[in-house]
């Protein structure tokens, strides 16, 4: 029997409301600001994403052996080219998108966290 169930994946951010809004535009849901530096993205399908204030956040490097990313988020999209155009318009930065035939592409969110768009 497990000890616990997973509640959320929490990302540090200099502006947790803005970062929650970025992800809400990708996966849906409603941004709920607790007013105490903690923000939840509620109503999106899948594991809840939450965001906590980290004014001095130093984003991970990707790829890097010295400053590893430690974790990243994967999102499934129907089409990589369309998904890429949409996340770039939201403020994502491409990190590794130039691999013909590969079923994923890597980006950085506005706070610097790596994430991938993937197709099944």
Q: Domain spanning 58-120: which superfamily? A: 2,3-Dihydroxybiphenyl 1,2-Dioxygenase, domain 1 (3.10.180.10)
Cα–Cα distance for residue pair 17/88, rounded to 1 Å:
19
Cβ atoms of 70 and 82 within 8 Å: the answer is no
Contacts of 67 (CB under 8 A, 6+ apart): 58, 60, 61
Cβ atoms of 57 and 22 within 8 Å: the answer is no
pLDDT confidence of residue 37: 94
Cβ atoms of 26 and 110 within 8 Å: the answer is no
* pLDDT string in tens for the chain (120-residue length): 877 678 899 999 999 999 999 999 999 999 999 999 999 999 989 889 999 999 998 888 877 777 766 778 899 999 999 999 999 999 999 998 777 778 899 999 999 999 999 998
Residue of 6, 3, 37 whose CA lies nearest to 20: 37
Distance between alpha carbon 86 and the CA centroid of its chain, in Å?
Answer: 14
Cα–Cα distance for residue pair 28/44, rounded to 1 Å:
5
pTM as predicted: 0.84
Domain ranges of the chain: 1-56, 58-120
Architecture of domain 1-56: 2-Layer Sandwich (3.30)
pLDDT confidence of residue 2: 77
């Amino acid at each position: 029997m497990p000890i616990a169930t997973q509640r959320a994946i929490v990302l540090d951010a200099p502006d947790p409301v803005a970062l929650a809004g970025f992800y809400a535009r990708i996966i849906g849901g409603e941004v709920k600001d607790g007013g105490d530096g903690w923000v939840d993205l509620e109503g999106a399908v899948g594991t809840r994403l939450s965001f906590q204030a980290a004014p001095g956040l130093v984003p991970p490097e990707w790829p890097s052996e010295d400053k590893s990313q430690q974790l990243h988020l994967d999102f499934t999209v129907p089409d990589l080219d369309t998904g890429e155009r949409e996340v770039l318009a939201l403020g994502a930065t491409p990190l590794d998108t130039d691999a013909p035939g590969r079923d994923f592409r890597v980006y950085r969110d506005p706070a610097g966290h790596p994430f991938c768009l993937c197709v099944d």
